[in-house]
Amino acid sequence: MPELPEVETVLRGLSKRALGRQIVAVEVLHTGIIAGDAEDFIQRVAGRTAVEVRRKGKVLAMEMAAANTPDSSYLIFRLGMTGQVTIQPVDTPLELHTHVRMLFRGGKEELRFRDVRRFGRLRCLRREEFEALFESLGPDAQRVTEAEFLGAMRGRRGAIKSWLLNQQGVSGLGNIYADEALFEAGIHPLAQPDRVSPASARRLHRAVQKVLKRAVNLQGTTFRDYIDIEGRPGNYIQRLRVYQKTGQPCPRCETPVRRIIIAGRSSHFCPRCQRRPRHVAKMRGLRTPGYKRS
Taking the least distance from each CB to Zn ion, the nearer of 249 and 290 is 249
Nearest to 188 by CA among 83, 60, 279: 279
270 touches Zn ion (CB under 5 A): yes
CB of 223 to Zn ion, least distance (A): 23
143 touches Zn ion (CB under 5 A): no
Find out whether 193 and 156 touch, Cβ atoms under 8 Å.
Answer: yes
Find out whether 7 and 226 touch, Cβ atoms under 8 Å.
Answer: no
Q: What is the dihedral of CA 129, 166, 97, 47, to 10 degrees?
A: 20
Of residues 252, 279, 283, 290, which one binds Zn ion by CB under 5 A? Answer: 252
Q: Which range of residues in 66-74, 93-101, 259-267, 273-281 is near Zn ion by CB under 5 A?
A: 273-281
Taking the least distance from each CB to Zn ion, the nearer of 142 and 274 is 274
Beta-bridge mates of residue 98: 114
Residues in 40-99 at the binding interface with Zn ion, rule: CB under 5 A: none
185 touches Zn ion (CB under 5 A): no
Q: How distant is the alpha carbon of residue 172 from its chain centre?
A: 5
Taking the least distance from each CB to Zn ion, the nearer of 253 and 281 is 253
Give me the active site residues, please. Answer: 2-3, 58, 265
CB of 246 to Zn ion, least distance (A): 13
Q: What is the binding site for Zn ion (CB under 5 A)?
A: 250, 252-253, 255, 270, 272-273
